[in-house]
Amino acid sequence: LAVLEKPCSSIHFFSLTPSLANFDPLLNEYFFDRHPAVFAQVLNYYRTGKLHYPTDVCGPLFEEELQYWGLDASDTEPCCWMQLLHAKDTQETLAVLDRMDVDREDDPQLREQDTMKKFGWEEDYFQVLRCTNFLS
């Protein structure tokens, strides 16, 4: 932990004590069963004060890991904001689709129509799908 004393010495990492369950007194070390890609970014943040979004991690997992470490997604560097916003937009879109599935579960054709309208797909495309379904 001495390596991490600056620039972020007031962060959650330094509130760790040997009495925590993840401390091994025999080895005199901490063990964290956390996502390694996010941990690398968290560790880098504690060392440098700059938090970057790992490209191989989904948004909810990244935010969950940040919460564990006492960090906020708003601490993410500006160069990574688009990735973070894209992840949030994706989650919002999935939530809309989930609600549509629940609302239209009884009629698959209506569910398909709603999906196409929601995402602005052209009526011509919808007609092609109807023809395909008719021929099947």
Identify the structural domains of the chain with CATH numbers, from first to last. Answer: 2-97 (3.30.710.10), 104-136 (no CATH)
Mean per-residue pLDDT for 29-45?
Answer: 90
On average, the pLDDT of the chain sits at 76
pLDDT of residue 24: 83
Global pTM reads 0.57
Q: What is the number of other CB atoms lying within 10 angstroms of the CB of residue 110?
A: 13
Crossing angle (nearest 10°) for helices 59-68 and 81-103: 110
Determine the pLDDT at residue 129: 66
Digit-coded pLDDT (tens) for 70-120: 899 889 999 988 888 888 888 888 888 877 766 555 666 666 666 667 666
Do 102 and 96 meet the contact criterion of CB atoms below 8 Å apart? no
Residue 30: φ, ψ to 5°: -95, 150
